[in-house]
């Protein structure tokens, strides 16, 4: 329906891996595929030099606050350890 605004049903915390280096990026969004496209098109300053990316992990949350909190956690040492256990074929040594 045009003209109506909708509240996102989920917020996603995600991990991207650069296909040309070991760089990884953790973020959150309410539109996962659109956000991946933005990263790969170079529209995000912090990730532009590391393109292209593949999505290696994501989690969905009903609450924006919870997704943001999870993003912050995954950027910590404990969060990197969690991801290393969760995603066996992806190094999280950064």
pLDDT digits (tens, 9 = 90+) for 32-44: 999 999 999 999 9
Cβ distance 22 to 56 under 8 Å? no
Q: Give the model confidence (pLDDT) of 51-75 as tens digits.
A: 999 999 999 999 999 999 999 999 9
**In terms of residue numbers, what domain contains 59?**
11-86
How confident is the model at residue 41, as a pLDDT? 98
36 lies in a domain? yes
The answer to whether residues 71 and 16 touch, using CB atoms and an 8 Å cutoff, is no
Who has greater pLDDT, 58 or 3? 58
pLDDT over 60 at 25, yes or no: yes
CATH of the domain at 60: 3.40.1440.10
47 lies in some domain: yes
- Model pLDDT, residue 91: 61
Q: How confident is the model over 17-42, as a mean pLDDT?
A: 96
**Domains in the chain, number:** 1
């Amino acid at each position: 329906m045009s003209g109506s605004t909708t509240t996102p049903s989920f917020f996603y915390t995600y991990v991207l891996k650069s296909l040309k280096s070991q760089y990884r990026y953790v973020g959150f969004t309410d539109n996962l595929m659109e956000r991946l496209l933005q990263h790969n098109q170079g529209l995000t300053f912090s990730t532009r030099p590391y393109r292209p990316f593949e999505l290696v992990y994501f989690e969905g949350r009903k609450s924006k606050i919870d997704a943001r909190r999870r993003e912050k956690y995954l950027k910590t040492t404990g969060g990197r350890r969690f991801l290393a256990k969760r995603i066996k074929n992806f190094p999280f040594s950064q």
